[in-house]
Amino acid sequence: MMAVLKRLVRLMLPYWKPMTLGLILSFLTIGSNMGLLITSAYLISWSALRPPVLDLMVLVAGVRFFGISRAAFRYGERYVTHHATLSILGKIRVWVYHSLAAQSPGRLLSYHSGQLLSRLVNDVEALKDLYLRVLLPPLTVICIGLAAAFFLSLFHWSLVLAFVLFYGLAALGVPWLVRRLTGGKEKLDRAREELNTLLADSLKGLTEITAFGREKLQIDKATGKGNAFARLQLRISTGNALTGTQTQLLAHLAMVATLCLSIHLVSTGQLKGIWIAALTMGVLAAFEAVQGLSRFMPNLDF
Three-state DSSP state, 183: coil
Domain that holds residue 274: 2-301
Model confidence at 274, in pLDDT bands (50, 70, 90)?
Answer: very high
Q: What is the pLDDT at residue 132? A: 84
Q: What is the pLDDT at residue 302? A: 43
Residue 298, pLDDT > 50, answer yes
Residue 207, pLDDT > 70, answer yes
Give 60-111 as a DSSP string: HHHHHHHHHHHHHHHHHHHHHHHHHHHHHHHHHHHHHHHHHHTS-GGGGTTS
Q: What is the CATH number of the domain that holds 137?
A: 1.20.1560.10
Q: Compute CA distances 298 → 6, 123, 130, 171, 204, whole Å.
A: 21, 14, 11, 14, 33
Number of folded domains in the chain? 1
Phi and psi, residue 4, nearest 5°: -65, -45
pTM: 0.82
When mean pLDDT is compared across 51-65, 129-143, 147-161, 234-248, the lowest value belongs to 234-248
Within 8 A by CB and 6+ apart from 258, the residues are: 159, 162, 163, 279, 280, 283
Could you give the residue ranges of the DSSP H alpha helices within the chain? Answer: 2-12, 16-47, 53-101, 113-118, 124-127, 129, 136-153, 157-168, 174-182, 184-204, 206-211, 215-267, 276-286
How open is the CA angle 209-213-214, to the nearest 5 degrees?
Answer: 55
Q: What is the pLDDT at residue 115? A: 62
Query: For the chain, what percent of residues have pLDDT higher than 70?
Result: 87
User: Are the C-beta atoms of residues 262 and 271 closer than 8 Å to each other?
Assistant: yes
Residue 277, pLDDT > 90, answer yes
